[in-house]
């Protein structure tokens, strides 16, 4: 199936690892040029070079922190300088949390708000005008199943991802007449390096069976009893970027292995 993405320019945040890297690779395989953003410059530059060499596309790495207004401004400027703007924006950068509401500081709340919500707001302000100039575009937000089905140990993550989901719907309503489609994806359990790192930490004093720990998490939460690969989630993002999803806008899609407990 030709997804008609060849020659498009896509910007992906959190693009050096996990879901973000898998999305960047999926888009590169379809012929998209890339602006790849992440904080770690060395790994980001290496992955951008790898994708450019493998798929014959242009990949511009931009080391920045999108949880900071200055970082977003630098990213928008780099996209404009390299490609004259973008056709696709994937707001993927994010991080889990671990706290209680009664003990978490204002600073921690603010940091997650900046990363999960204001980064998306600022990137929309900075890049949607270039989509309008180019005749349309796609904006996708990577939120989480926790936006509607919270996990007890990360209230800040739950709240800010819920806000991101509502921002996605609101932006979709605002720009739909400009031929810009905005959607949100709520993944469930995805086997990223962060999950593996946490599992190894949690099992270090009890024999180190981190794989068994992850299987117990999947058994408890996912109807299909397994984690998704980053590529499985990325495939859905790539489809939503394509002309084959032309009537999909303003929606939230769950890619969660049956983890959501409601219809």
Q: Tokens standing for 147?
A: 């936006």
Q: Name the catalytic one among 55, 112, 157, 247.
A: 157
Q: How far apart are CA 134 and CA 131, in angstroms?
A: 5
Contacts of 20 (CB under 8 A, 6+ apart): 12, 13, 14, 38, 90, 92, 93, 142
Say how many C-beta atoms besides its own lie within 10 A of residue 148's C-beta: 17
Does residue 55 carry a catalytic annotation? no
The catalytic residue positions are: 157
């Amino acid at each position: 199936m030709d997804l008609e993405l060849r020659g498009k320019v896509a910007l992906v945040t959190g693009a050096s690892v996990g879901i973000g890297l898998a999305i960047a690779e999926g888009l590169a395989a379809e012929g998209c040029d890339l602006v790849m953003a992440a904080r770690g410059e060395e790994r980001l530059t290496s992955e951008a070079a790898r994708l450019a060499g493998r798929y014959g596309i242009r990949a511009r790495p931009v080391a920045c922190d999108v949880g900071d207004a200055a970082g977003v401004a630098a990213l928008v400027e780099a996209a404009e300088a390299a490609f004259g703007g973008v056709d696709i924006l994937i707001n993927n950068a994010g991080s889990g949390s671990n706290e209680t509401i009664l003990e978490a500081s204002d600073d921690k709340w603010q940091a997650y708000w900046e990363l999960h919500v204001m980064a998306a707001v600022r990137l929309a302000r900075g890049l949607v005008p270039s989509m309008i100039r180019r005749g349309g575009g796609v904006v996708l937000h990577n939120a989480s199943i926790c936006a509607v089905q919270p996990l007890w140990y990360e209230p800040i993550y739950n709240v800010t991802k819920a806000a991101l989901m509502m921002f996605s719907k609101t932006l979709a309503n605002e720009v739909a007449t400009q031929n810009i489609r905005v959607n949100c994806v709520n993944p469930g359990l995805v086997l990223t390096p962060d999950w593996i790192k946490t599992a190894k930490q949690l099992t270090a004093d009890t024999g180190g069976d981190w794989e068994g720990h992850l299987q117990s998490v999947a058994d408890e939460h996912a109807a299909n009893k397994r984690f998704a690969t980053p590529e499985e989630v990325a495939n859905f993002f790539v489809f939503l970027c394509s002309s084959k999803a032309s009537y999909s806008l303003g929606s939230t899609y769950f890619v969660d292995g049956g983890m959501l407990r409601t219809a």
